[in-house]
Amino acid sequence: SHERLATDDNMRGWGFIVTPGQQADPLNPGNLPVGLGRHVDPGTGKERLDIGCATCHTGELHYQGTALRVDGGQAVQSLSNAKRGEFITTLGASVFETLLNPVKWNRFATRVAGHDEAQREQLKTEMWAFADHMKHFMQGAGNPKYYPVEEGRGRIDAVGRIANVVFGYDMDVPANYRPADAPASLPFLWDIWRFDWVQYTGFTNQAMARNVGETLGVLAPIKLVDKQGNPLPASELGETVVDVDGLHCAEGLLRMLKPPKWPQDILGNIDFERARAGKQLFADHCQHCHGPHISEPYAWPVADQANPQIPGQINSNWQWDMAGDISQQDGRPVRRDWRSTIWSMPWISTQEIGTDPKLADNYMDNRYDASKLVPGSKPVNAGDGLQVLLNLLVPKLYARWDITGAEIANYDGLNVPFRIANQRAYKARPLHGVWATPPFLHNGSVPSIYHLLSPLQQRPTTFYVGNREYDPQKLGYLTHKTEGSFFHDTRIQGNRNHGHLFTDVDIPGRIGPLLSEMQRYELLEYLKVMGNPDFDEALNGDPQNWARYSAPPPHQWSATRCRNNHLRHGIVEQEPKP
């Protein structure tokens, strides 16, 4: 075939977002889909293709010929899916076919290197190196046998994959590979900078640690062992291309994200009588878990003792006092101007919420050998192991990027200490803008909010994911089969749709009483506009009005080096000169 792999139609077919008619420009010289970018590797001087945050965290809803972009929403691509015909398998097949087919190779090499024989040979050497690297990865951390539950569109077992990459592939310990069979929906990102604990199981709490861990999970190269797989001396450990300056820049932009506003001109007008009734139903049945809960003087609950699994590890107990400061052993006070911006995330045990426990069980029960990082350590779970690695790695990254003093507190993310919480539970997050983030529950097992509020027997047992056409009545995607769509079977462990039930029957997962058909639609109507300050008056006042929440301290990101990058791109305005 003469067709190039990354045509707009092909990329859309795999679920990537390509703006119709987009052309290359200075901000996107490669004319790439949303979230993909390029940068020059300072170590090699060669250009690299990047997978940015927006690849997985940008949604798009379609309704009657109009597309609504949801910045920070849930993507429906299947970047990690190794099923035949998906992006990663097609990419691998294309690379090998190009190398082995003389006609295709000549066409490709001429386009990239012209007729210079030396450059063409160098290109072939680099292509074979990439192909061998890809083959090695697919035999290890990328091997489909470790991912027996198909992730499909808009889902990934991120924690399981990161653990397999870091503890198995990067550390060269094949015995560390574990089944990652609990796919989770790609979460929406607005307001997460406020959360005291993040990830579906709420196991970590710090922006930089979260972002570096995710960067390693998408294969940012890192040197953890030598070529023979032996531990490295501390001076050599952790050589990597991870760009902490860029990560901090992205985190600053993240704090600017707002929940999407319901577009009445596209999706239909709001019935405010219903919405006002739904506001009361939300207060009665939802707010006690989903809050948001403004943090009070607060203790980081699992930081009061050293982890006995890790020799020599020291944890300190962090405790807010009424002034909003934290006192602890290394003398880093938290700024007084950010405490009111933080929201406490309640953990709901898997037994109580009743949703599919596989993700939480895997996190709590899987163990990895981290002794190449800390000799003598006992097997650890993914969270504790990542804490060990990142406590070694992040200070080196800061030193490499010349980030010192007070800047470290800003780069950490509001000076929050990096902690791990081991809970067999899921966190309950606030729901502003949730209407734009189907499907629902942590594993995407319920196609619409209407079905989520309905009895279990009224939830679809099977449905298709991948159709972007939106249902503004039930608040979900249409679920019929389309080209490339994923068949979600809730009878499979990891995919199950039980729990979070409104029922009058006392069963596991019951969180409230049975809702009538009218009550369900009243709640749906409120969720369309919940928190939107434009509708505060029409709702006779909305306690969820997000305009009332404290804004992020502006100097936490604007004074850093990435501000110049924001200015160049027109993302923030130049401050007036005195």
Task: Work out whether strand 184-185 and strand 155-156 pair parallel, antiparallel, or are unpaired.
Answer: antiparallel
Cis peptide before 439 (omega within 30 of 0): yes
- DSSP state at residue 104: H
pLDDT value of residue 419: 80
Q: pTM for the complete prediction?
A: 0.89
Domain extent listing, the chain: 149-578
Task: Work out whether strand 501-502 and strand 510-512 pair parallel, antiparallel, or are unpaired.
Answer: parallel
Nearest one of 193, 198, 210, 209 to 423, comparing CA atoms? 198
- DSSP state at residue 165: I
Query: CA angle, 493 as apex, 217 and 445 as ends, to 5°?
Result: 80
Other beta carbons less than 10 A from residue 357's beta carbon: 21
Nearest one of 417, 442, 453, 424 to 526, comparing CA atoms? 453
**3 state SS of 439:** coil
d(CA 342, CA 334): 12
d(CA 311, CA 377): 6
**Helix/strand/coil percent split, the chain, to 5:** 35, 15, 50
Counting every residue, how long is the chain?
578
pLDDT value of residue 328: 35
Alpha-carbon distances of 415 from 246, 305, 409, rounded to whole Å: 18, 20, 4
* 205 within 8 A of 197, measured Cβ to Cβ: yes
* 358 within 8 A of 309, measured Cβ to Cβ: no
Sign of CA dihedral 410, 415, 417, 423: negative
For residue 241, give both structure tokens.
């291309």
pLDDT value of residue 263: 98
pLDDT value of residue 561: 54
User: Crossing angle, helix 117-139 and helix 102-113, to 10 degrees?
Assistant: 120
d(CA 459, CA 462): 9
Task: Work out whether strand 155-156 and strand 66-71 pair parallel, antiparallel, or are unpaired.
Answer: unpaired
pLDDT value of residue 295: 62
Identity of the amino acid at 462: T
Identity of the amino acid at 526: Y
424-446 in b/e burial notation, b at 16+ Cβ within 10 A? ebbbbbbbbbbbbbbbbbbbbbb
String of DSSP letters for 167-233: IIIITT-GGG-------EEPPP-TTGGGBSSBSTT--B--HHHHHHHHHHHTT--EE-B-TTSPBPP
Query: CA angle, 97 as apex, 96 and 101 as ends, to 5°?
Result: 125
**3 state SS of 410:** helix
Mean pLDDT for each 10-residue chunk of the chain (578 residues)?
A: 86 93 86 88 78 94 97 93 89 94 95 94 95 93 95 96 96 97 97 91 89 91 93 88 87 90 98 98 94 61 38 34 32 46 86 96 95 88 90 89 81 78 92 98 98 98 97 98 94 98 94 97 99 97 92 54 45 36
pLDDT value of residue 326: 33
Q: Is 332 exposed, middle or buried (0-12, 13-18, 19+ CB in 10 A)?
A: middle
